[in-house]
Amino acid sequence: MDKYILLSNKSWHVELIDKLCEKFPEDEWILIQTEKAFTKEKLSKIKPKKIFIPHWSSIIPKDIHEEFKCIVFHMTDLPYGRGGSPLQNLIIRGHKKTKLSALRVNDNIDAGPIYLKKELSLKGTATQIFHRASKIIMTMIIEIIEMNKVPKEQKGTPVVFRRRNSEDSNIKDLKNLEEVFDYIRMLDCEGYPNAFIETSHFKFHFTKAKIQNNQLIKANVEIIKK
């Protein structure tokens, strides 16, 4: 029996590990969701064959990725788009589709060798895109395990994305409706700062946007007193 770890703090990956347990009933799958539980001491007791990381915002400690095979899934066609906030950075650059890259973690951010890549549409809200990605990640994990994939070094000139912060969600300076629509949808997900505008006394958060003929946007709004 082999042991595998799925490292993610996102709710939609609970279903992913359930399906992996069904696919590989002879193996043991363990979900880790917090940094506190992701320690060298704990991993040494588990002795996982591989650690799959579909979504994680923290750096994987060197003492962990050097001892265990840590495979992260990054939402760009690496080496294009290394760095933070890949989904949002792709959308604001006008990309309609991307590739999910499965790579082994090393000392440099998103610079490790690639196991495989799969196409991913960027249509819909961030929530919809992440759920779509989760299904593709499952097929990639299966392929990596069943075909015993060996990663190959990245080729090409790296393009590095800057990690976005909450203030980058402000839509006050956007100039057309399509930009506003993209900002709302690309931040419409748990754990992300929703698109907003603010006045002296209130902050307006926007979700569930729909655009009609690039002339009208309808969206849910939450108004918070500052």
> Which domains, and CATH codes, for the chain?
3-161 (3.40.50.170), 166-225 (3.10.25.20)
Tokens representing 2 are: 């082999």
Beta-strand relationship, 114-121 and 97-104: antiparallel
Tell me, what DSSP letter sits at residue 164? P
> What pLDDT is attached to residue 149?
96
pLDDT band at 193 (very low <50, low <70, confident <90, very high): very high
Q: Show contacts of 18-21: CB within 8 Å, 24+ apart.
A: 19/138, 20/138, 20/141, 20/142
Percent of the chain with pLDDT over 70: 100
Only one residue has tokens 């392929």, namely 143
Q: What is the pLDDT of residues 146-184, one digit of tens each?
A: 999 999 999 999 999 999 999 999 999 999 999 999 999
Widest distance between CA atoms in the chain: 60
> What pLDDT is attached to residue 214?
80
Bridge partner list, 4: 29, 50
